[in-house]
């Protein structure tokens, strides 16, 4: 595997604990327990190994990373290793003292998630009364601390009417970047797909609103836009391709090519408690399983786009077909493409919504 390049970024899932209970959470249905979480020194070693491997960026995520009492020492360890640090947070527990300590430790960037533009609807979606007001206050603290701010808005059937308000919220907060990310259907989101999946008219309207905002805000705020595969005819190169750009370490130390990869049966993912990050990235059977194009079945094999989309998403293919090496049904050439039409037909406003369970 001499052709394997270094990953661009490490996503460190510090914990699965979270004060919110979002129904679209992409974490696994079986959440890692507190007792299984890596300790401070183990994470510091992982950060050093990530930098030695060639990673440039570190995304500190969860769950809610602010629930780690050692978050400041972890940021210090990452900065010492030479990594650019981005805190991905719900921010409902972020106060002035904590942001000052993180800034002093060397934190480079903060990304705050919001659920809606209106407080009542946002709090209902997050399952955290008063959370929206706290998020806006936290965003102001981030800007006062001189840190770059990204607002992340995960959008779906139940909050897409609020998209113009979400764009205005990010603009008012002084965000340099807004991520408008349609729900991707893994974990809890897959369990709630019927309640969350928008119809085509809603998707097209959202796309028009994003493009209009991009034209208006060009040079002031970048807007990233991620659409749901369930309306696609070609798959995305998920995470830039399996084992190509991103490496994930979950709270218990499991090394993964993406946050949802543990859902795939028959793959033995290494653990940083037993192996180095470089050995996991370069040499593990699980990481090498879907690299390149040799594993691909028809119609992917020989397709002109095989080295553009890298076969799409393995987790989505498995969730929709029960086969880990199936052509991603997002591709119109897939023999399973019809399952997406079935899913769209099953979505509706009356579908029940189940909120995310809590890790203990």
Name the residue with higher pLDDT: 186 or 17.
Answer: 17
Residue 258 is predicted with a pLDDT of 92
User: Is residue 358 scored above 90 in pLDDT?
Assistant: no
Nearest to 121 by CA among 74, 156, 172: 156
Entry pTM? 0.95
Nearest to 336 by CA among 197, 235, 190: 235
Nearest to 249 by CA among 120, 121, 25, 59: 59
Angle at 320 between CA 315 and CA 326, to 5 degrees: 70
- Residue 145 CB neighbours (<10 A): 16
**Is 55 annotated for ligand binding?**
no
Tens digits of per-residue pLDDT, 15-73? 999 999 999 988 776 777 888 999 999 999 999 999 999 999 999 999 999 999 999 99
Give the DSSP letter string of 225-237.
EE--GGG-SS---
Residue 359 is predicted with a pLDDT of 53
Mean pLDDT value of segment 98-110: 98
Query: What CA–CA distance (Å, rounded) separates 247 from 245?
Result: 7
- With pLDDT > 90 as the criterion, what percentage of the chain qualifies? 88
**Is 331 annotated for ligand binding?**
no
**Is 25 annotated for ligand binding?**
yes
Local confidence band at 1 (pLDDT 50, 70, 90 cut-offs): very low
Query: What CA–CA distance (Å, rounded) separates 82 from 103?
Result: 16
- With pLDDT > 70 as the criterion, what percentage of the chain qualifies? 98
Local confidence band at 243 (pLDDT 50, 70, 90 cut-offs): very high
Of the listed ranges 234-238, 305-309, 346-350, the one predicted with least confidence: 234-238
């Amino acid at each position: 595997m001499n052709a394997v390049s270094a990953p661009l970024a490490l996503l460190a899932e510090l914990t699965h604990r979270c004060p919110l209970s979002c129904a679209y959470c992409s974490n696994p249905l079986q959440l890692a327990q507190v007792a299984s979480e890596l300790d401070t020194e183990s994470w510091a070693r992982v950060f050093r190994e990530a930098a030695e491997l060639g990673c440039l960026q570190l995304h500190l995520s969860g769950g809610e990373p602010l629930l780690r009492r050692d978050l400041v020492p972890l940021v210090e360890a990452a900065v010492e290793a030479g990594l650019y640090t981005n805190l991905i947070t719900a921010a409902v527990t972020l106060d002035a003292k904590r942001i000052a300590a993180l800034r002093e430790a060397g934190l480079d960037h903060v990304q705050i998630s919001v659920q809606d533009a209106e407080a009542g609807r946002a709090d209902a979606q997050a399952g955290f009364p008063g959370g929206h007001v706290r998020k806006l206050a936290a965003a102001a603290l981030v800007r006062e601390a001189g840190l770059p701010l990204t607002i992340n808005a995960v959008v779906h059937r139940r909050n897409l009417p609020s998209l113009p308000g979400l764009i205005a919220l990010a603009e008012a907060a002084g965000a340099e970047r807004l991520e408008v990310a349609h729900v991707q259907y893994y974990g809890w989101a897959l369990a709630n797909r019927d309640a969350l999946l928008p119809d085509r008219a809603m998707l097209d309207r959202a796309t028009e609103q994003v493009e209009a905002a991009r034209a208006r805000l060009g040079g002031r705020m970048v807007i990233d836009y991620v659409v749901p595969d369930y309306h696609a005819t070609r798959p995305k190169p998920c995470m830039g391709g399996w084992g190509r750009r991103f490496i994930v370490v979950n709270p218990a130390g499991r090394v993964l090519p993406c946050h949802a990869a543990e859902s795939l049966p028959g793959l033995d993912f290494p653990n940083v408690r037993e192996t180095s990050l470089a050995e996991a990235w370069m040499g593990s059977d699980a990481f090498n399983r879907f690299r390149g194009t040799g594993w691909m079945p028809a119609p992917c094999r020989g397709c002109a786009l095989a080295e553009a989309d890298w076969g799409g998403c393995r987790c989505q293919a498995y969730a929709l077909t029960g086969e880990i090496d199936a052509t991603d049904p997002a591709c119109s050439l897939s023999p399973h493409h019809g399952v997406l039409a079935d899913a769209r037909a099953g979505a509706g406003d009356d579908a029940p919504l189940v909120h995310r369970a809590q890790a203990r």
